[in-house]
Amino acid sequence: MNPNTIVSQTKPLLEYLKKRREDQKFLKSVEIALTFTTIGFFLIFAIKPTAVVISGLIGEIKSKQLLVKELRNKINNIVIAQDNFAKVQERYRVVESCLPDSPHFYSSSNQLRLAAQESQINLDKLGFGFESNTDNHSQEKPIDPNLGYYSISLSQNSDFTPILNFISKLQNSRRLLVLNPIKISLASSKNKESTSSAASLVFSLSSRLYFWQTANEKK
Amino acid sequence: MKKNKLASYFVFISIFTVITILIYIIQRSYDNLMKPVNTAKTSILSKPIDPNLDIETLDLIEEKKEYLP
């Protein structure tokens, strides 16, 4: 048998086998690609909603557990705070005298009058002014946004030592106040003549007096 | 040969898509898990209360003079 004849007879067979193998490989690849596409489809439409809902529920449970723990701590702290408050309840009056529930205009003016009297200054004029905590014109930062305040201003002739005494008395008084601008200047001769005393200085000050606002009590 | 190359591209794209979907699902699930916990942590209810009273300030106030009307 001629070898060329054998090659010419087996060549189409080998080519057929090769093509068949390639087809099989292609089919396998398509099968794998389709399998992954199906997995992706199920992941989107079946696994994703389930996973999202389950994780959401677990998150809710965890947050509730956290809140329960925090609230238990809070309740314990409130009980401790109640006990502590009961121990110092009789001293609440001290807090009230420092930071009253209402403006207490009379007591604040009285405080200034008595402090002035003790410093041998005769106060004959006091000005009350109201500002809002949320007032944009107010350049100063409020101590606490829950606190209400009003200002008292005065201007008086006196000597230097009584003025210093008066300011130190105000600073050592129990009522919470902030002394804002204190101006001391020489009294003009016209002023001196008009006042009976020989006071050489004119001083003016403005102070802010704080109190708890009713809105704060409701909380 | 060209057919085979195309098939391998399909396989690669499908695997890549599955991995992307998996990562997206994990990310969404984690976000869903942590969102309520973070909300609970930052909520006003979880703000701690200090039960200790500032007695020193009370003493300090008491030392100051009270002008009674």
Whether residue A168 lies inside any domain: the answer is: yes
> Residue A98: exposed, middle, or buried by beta-carbon count in 10 A (0-12, 13-18, 19+)?
buried
Domain shared by A202 and A125, yes or no: yes
Q: Following CA atoms A142, A135, A152, A167 in sequence, which dihedral angle do they give, to the nearest 10 degrees? A: 30
Q: Does A143 touch chain B (CB under 8 A)?
A: no
Does A219 score more than 50 pLDDT? no
Q: Side chain identity at A29, as an amino acid letter?
A: S
What is the mean predicted confidence (pLDDT) over A179-191? 76
Domain shared by A124 and A182, yes or no: yes
Domain shared by A198 and A141, yes or no: yes
Pairing of strands A147-158, A177-186: unpaired
Which of A87, A110, A145 delimits the end of a domain?
A: A87
- Nearest Cα neighbor of A213 from A100, A111, A105, A106 is A100
pTM for the structure as a whole: 0.59
- Count CA atoms closer than 13 A to A98's CA, side-chain side: 17
Whether residue A36 lies inside any domain: the answer is: yes
Domain shared by A150 and A82, yes or no: no
Contacts of B25 in chain A (CB under 8 A): 43, 47-48, 51-52
Q: Side chain identity at B51, as an amino acid letter?
A: P
Q: Does B54 touch chain A (CB under 8 A)?
A: no
Whether residue A40 lies inside any domain: the answer is: yes
Instruction: Round the CA-based radius of gyration of chain A to a whole number and report it.
Output: 44
Contact call for B49 and A81, based on CB within 8 A: yes
Task: Quote the minimal CA–CA distance from B2 to chain A in Å.
Answer: 10
A52 versus A207: which is more confidently predicted?
A: A52
B14 versus B69: which is more confidently predicted?
A: B14
Domain holding A195, by residue range, is: 99-218
What confidence tens digit (pLDDT) does each residue in A19-36 have? 898 888 888 888 999 999
Domain shared by A61 and A159, yes or no: no
Q: Side chain identity at A56, as an amino acid letter?
A: G
Does A87 score more than 70 pLDDT? yes
Most confident of A37-41, A143-147, B5-9: A37-41
What is the biggest distance separating any 2 CA atoms in chain B, rounded to whole angstroms?
106
- Domain count for chain A: 2
Q: Does B66 touch chain A (CB under 8 A)?
A: yes
ipTM for this model = 0.79
